Chains A and B, each alone.
Chain A
Amino acid sequence: MNHRLAAEPGPDRAPHVVPLGVLLAVFAALIFLTCVTVWVAGIDLGEWNLFGALAIATVKAALVALYFMHLRYDSPFNALLFVTGLAFLALFLGLTLLDAVAYQPDIETFREAAKAR
C-alpha cells in the first residue's frame, strides 16, 4: 500500500471490529427469544398473541440490525435510511389497512345481496 493512504484514517484503515463476545451474546439472546416466542404462542392470549409475537420479533430484529449489521457503530445516516424505509412501509401499510378494513362491510353487504339473488 502506498504512503498517502496509509496515513489516512477510515473504516478501511481502522474498521470497527465487533468483539466476538458481543456476537455470541447476541446470538444467545436471539435463540432465547425464539424459544420465548414459541412458548408464548402456546398460551391463548387472544389478540395479544399477535402483538406479543410482533414485539418479540421487533426486539430480535433490533438486535440483528444493531449488532450483526453494525448499525450501532455505523454512520447514523445509514440507520436513518433503515428507519426511513420502515417508516414509509408503516405509512403504506397503515393507510391501506385503514381503508381496506373500513370498506369491508360494503363488500359483505354486497356478498349477502348476491347470495340472496
Chain B
Amino acid sequence: MKKRILPLVLALTLLLLSACGNASAPAAAPTAESQPAPEETAAPNDTAAPEETAESVQTQKTERAAANELTVGIAQDFDSLDPDYMTAAGTKEILFNVFEGLVKPTSAGDIVPAVASEVVKSDDGLSYTFTLREGVKFHNGNPVTMDDLVYSIERRWNSEDTAALLAALSVIDHLDHDDKTLTITLSEPSNEFLAAVMNAYIIPAGYTDQETAPVGTGPYRFVSRSVQDSLVLERFADYWGTPANIEKVTFKILENAEGLVLGLQSGALDLVAHMSSDQTIQLSEGDFTIAQGSMNLVQALYLNNAEKPFDDVRVRQALCYAVDKQAVIDLAFDGYGIPLGTSMFPSFSKYYDESLTDYYTCDVEKAKSLLAEAGYPDGFEMTITVPSNYTPHVNTATVLVELLREVGIKATIQPVDWSTWLDEVYSKRNYQSTVTGVSSDNMTARKLLERFGTTTGNNFTNYSNEEYDEILAQALRETDDAKQTELYRALEKNLTENAANVYLQDMADLVALRAGLTGLTFYPIYVLDVSTLSWE
C-alpha cells in the first residue's frame, strides 16, 4: 500500500495546484472597444497576501487610516506611465489621478474646464477658445505656461510620433495662441472634440522622462513605481482645485484575483474595484462596504443580423420576448446589474431612454407565436460564441441557453479565447450570436450608436436598417446638441423596435471599501478617482 500512497498524494497535489489555476481568470468583463492589454504571464508573486493575526490586521489598517494613507489593490501592471503612450484601460484608470487635460469629466457625465479656466465654443462650432487657468502648477513645481499647452496638444494631434496621436484630434485645422488663450480651429464641427481634448493630458513642454517619472497637473503626484509590484502616489499640495484628502496612495498589483480578496481580508488592501459578486461575498460585512457602480457597457446577446435565422425581425423579437433580463441578472450576477433595453446605459443620462427597457416583457407564448409566424414553430438550433476567459459572459450564456430552451430554441455555447473572439467574431463577423459588453471609450453617445450603421466598419452585428442609417447620418451632421440628442434617442428606439440584439444589462462594477473609507465617486468612463476618498 505504501507505494500507492505516493501517486495518490501527487494526484491530490495536482488537484490542489489546478484548483489555484482558475483564479487568474479576469473578473472584469471584456468590452469590444476599450480592452485592457492582454495580461502578461504573472510572475509567481501573486499568492502572497501577508499572513497576519487578527490583531495585526487591526493595527495595520488603523495605522494607515491614522497616517491618512491608502492601499488599493489592482489586477494588472501598468503598460506605460507616459500619458501619450499608455493604452491599457487599467493604466488610464489609475493615472487619471496624476494627469489632467484642458477639460476633465465629472461624475455626472459633463465635461468641465480643468487646466483651462474657461472654454468658449464659437457659434459655428468650428473654433474653441481655452483660457489658461491662473496658478496651475506641474508636479515639479513649475507653473503651466501656454508653451506647455501648445506642446501637449500638438503632440497628440500633429507630431511625427504616430504612436502618440489621438485619432479624434485629427479634426483640428490649426492652433492660435497668445499668453493667456489658446484657440483651436477645426476643419469641421465635431461634438466629440471636447471629449478628445479631455484625453490630451497637459504635460511640461519638452519633458522626456514621463515613462520613469511622470509629471502632470492632477491632484496626486508620482512618487515611485516598482514594476510588477506597486505604484505610489502622494497628494499634490499645490493642486489648483479641490485638494485630495488622503496623503499617500499605494497601488498594489496582484494579478491573481484570489490574491486581491486575500489582501482585503488580511488587511493589506483597503480598496479593490471591479470585483465579482462571488468575490464580495467572501468579505465579512462589518469590515467592508460594497459600492455598486456600473461598468458602463451594454451587455447583450449580440446577433449576427445577416445570418439566418436572425435576418428575420420576428425571430429577433421572439428572442427578446423569450429572455428575462432580470432572471439573467439574478442567476448569473447575484442581482447586481441594471437591465437595459437598447444600446445605451444610464450613466449617459442625457441620451438614455429608460422607457425602452421594458419594451419587451418576458412572454414565452408571444415568443413562440412569433417563431411560428417566422416559420420556426419547433424552434431552431443556434450557437452562442463567448470569450471563455470572461466568466460573467460565459455564465450569462449558460442562463440564456436555459431561457431559450423554454421557447424551443436549442442553443449551444461555443467558448473561444479572446483573440479568436476578436478575430472571428468582431473582425470577420463569422458567428451566429455572441455575448459580450460594448462600451464607449469617451464621453459621447456616438461610439455606441454609430456601430449599427450599415456601412460602419465596426458594425459587427451586421445590423442594416434604412431608417437607422438616415437618422444616423442626420445625427452625425447635426451641430446643435439638443437636436442631436433627440436624434440619438430616435436611434435607440429604432434598435429596440427592430430588436437588433437581445439587450441585457449594464453590468455592475462592485468596489470593496474598508469600513471607514468614504467618498467614492463613479464616472461614466473607466477611471478610479482616489482624490475624493477619505477616512472617517
A joins B in a complex: no
